[in-house]
Amino acid sequence: MRITGIELRRVAMPLVTPFRTSFGTETERDVLLVRVVTPDAEGWGECVAMSDPLYSPEYVDAAADVLRRFLVPALPAHTDAHGVGRALHPFKGHRMAKAALETAVLDAQLRTSGQSLATYLGAAVDRVPAGVSVGIMNSVPELLEAVTGYLDEGYRRVKLKIAPGWDLAPTRAVREHFGPGLLLQVDANAAYTLTDAPHLAKLDPLDLLLIEQPLAHDDLLQHARLAERITTPICLDESIESAQDAAAAITLGACSIVNIKPGRVGGYLEARRIHDLARAHGLAVWCGGMLETGIGRAANLALAALPGFTLPGDTSASRRYYTTDLTPPFELHDGHLNVPATPGIGVDPIPAVLDEVTTSTEWIPF
């Protein structure tokens, strides 16, 4: 496949409601889109880096910078998605930027060959159950009202964001209000330390599916220690940046579940490797989310359709995030989202919407 040029495009997408986590509050997504142009097709990739380096060291201005200065210039004009990985390998880190570029190339490649991303990755189903990630709220009644709304819409699993001062009481309240049948889990985004183990053990009786990333992103060993002191299964998010990290976490006993986010691990090819590894070791995986627009969501749904994704993911409907999505909106049907089945990621941005929200574009000719 011959690349004729690559566009870096920034779009501003206001969220329908602020999303608060242990590290900050998002009110608008400043999204970087990568568009790869070839003679036969165009491909899209959405960079999941946030505006500030709080979830991880990456942030959107840095992703745009590394793409324009290093990653795009390193690509051969003739390449495919595997070639992207080889060409970008010498550059350390910046996995979210790399993932966006690799995904755009993969999308163009699959559109050219007429294959859907879901089929290419090995999807086993054509729809996936939808979970929802619920931010930190000002009060427990406000939280119960939000969760009620999501359950009324049909969401199959609820994840509560927790932080010191907003953990036991809200989680217990949700469990008591909605009963033992609710699939419930929590996500700390690295807000605790191992000295909090006795406190986190108080979540054990609440029968949670998992606790996500309780401790620092770079401390697998302490997660392994924590796993010996609580019964709630530990799921890692920020700590797993590669299949190699997943292998280390499995060997150490640092987690029994992995949240797979293609952006965090450098792309869909590495995401599939982690899926394969986890599956071979009997670990469940599920597909995380980074408040993606329809572009990133479409590709995540293809991944979430793989057979090892045995838990509902954070792939929610478009309206949970945006009043107007960049693509035709993803909607819940009986608590599920359909996996796009047409070539590539299976969706295109709506030109008028895209123009409306674009804040800058940059064309890099090959």
Residues with catalytic roles: 161, 261
Assess 107 for contact with Mg ion (CB under 5 A). no
Assess 292 for contact with Mg ion (CB under 5 A). no
Rounded to whole angstroms, how far apart are CA atoms 93 and 58?
9
- Residue nearer to ligand SMG on the CB measure, 237 or 348: 237
- Residue nearer to Mg ion on the CB measure, 75 or 265: 265
The structure tokens listed for 294 are: 């329809």
Measured from the CB of residue 291, what is the shortest distance to ligand SMG in angstroms? 4
Assess 26 for contact with Mg ion (CB under 5 A). no
Stretch that binds Mg ion, among 11-19, 90-98, 114-122, 182-190 (CB under 5 A): 182-190
Cβ-based neighbour number of residue 57 at 10 Å: 13
Measured from the CB of residue 187, what is the shortest distance to Mg ion in angstroms? 4
Helix/strand/coil for 30 = strand
Residue 250 and residue 239 in contact, taking contact as beta carbons nearer than 8 Å: no
Residue 241 interacts with which of ligand SMG, Mg ion, none, CB < 5 to 8 Å by class: none
Measured from the CB of residue 189, what is the shortest distance to ligand SMG in angstroms? 5
Helix/strand/coil for 15 = strand
Rounded to whole angstroms, how far apart are CA atoms 43 and 348?
9
**Amino acid letter, 65:** D
Residue 26 interacts with which of ligand SMG, Mg ion, none, CB < 5 to 8 Å by class: ligand SMG
- Residue nearer to ligand SMG on the CB measure, 81 or 311: 311
Measured from the CB of residue 236, what is the shortest distance to Mg ion in angstroms? 9
Residue 192 interacts with which of ligand SMG, Mg ion, none, CB < 5 to 8 Å by class: none
Measured from the CB of residue 277, what is the shortest distance to ligand SMG in angstroms? 20
Residue 21 interacts with which of ligand SMG, Mg ion, none, CB < 5 to 8 Å by class: ligand SMG
**Binding string, 232-261, against Mg ion, x = CB under 5 A?**
-----x------------------------
Assess 314 for contact with Mg ion (CB under 5 A). no
Measured from the CB of residue 134, what is the shortest distance to Mg ion in angstroms? 12
Binding site for ligand SMG (CB under 6 A): 19, 21, 26, 50, 55, 133, 187, 189, 237, 288-291, 314, 316
Assess 270 for contact with Mg ion (CB under 5 A). no
Alpha-helical (H) ranges within 67-154 are 72-74, 81-88, 95-113, 117-121, 140-153
Residue 326 and residue 354 in contact, taking contact as beta carbons nearer than 8 Å: yes
Rounded to whole angstroms, how far apart are CA atoms 44 and 343?
12
Rounded to whole angstroms, how far apart are CA atoms 131 and 317?
9
Stretch 193-212 residues interacting with Mg ion (CB under 5 A) = 212
Pick from 167, 187, 241, 292 the residue near Mg ion by CB under 5 A: 187
Residue 55 interacts with which of ligand SMG, Mg ion, none, CB < 5 to 8 Å by class: ligand SMG
| Cβ partners under 8 Å of residue 250, min gap 6 | 277, 278, 281, 283
Rounded to whole angstroms, how far apart are CA atoms 336 and 64?
33
Strand order in the sheet with 234-236: 131-134, 157-161, 184-187, 211-212, 234-236, 257-260, 284-287
Residue 143 interacts with which of ligand SMG, Mg ion, none, CB < 5 to 8 Å by class: none
- Residue nearer to Mg ion on the CB measure, 105 or 283: 283
The sign one gets for the Cα dihedral 217, 272, 91, 100 is negative
Nearest residue to Mg ion by CB is 237
Nearest to 106 by CA among 344, 366, 349, 347: 344
List Cα–Cα distances, 208 to 200, 232, 251, in angstroms. 12, 6, 24
Measured from the CB of residue 57, what is the shortest distance to Mg ion in angstroms? 16
Chain positions contacting Mg ion, by CB under 5 A: 187, 212, 237
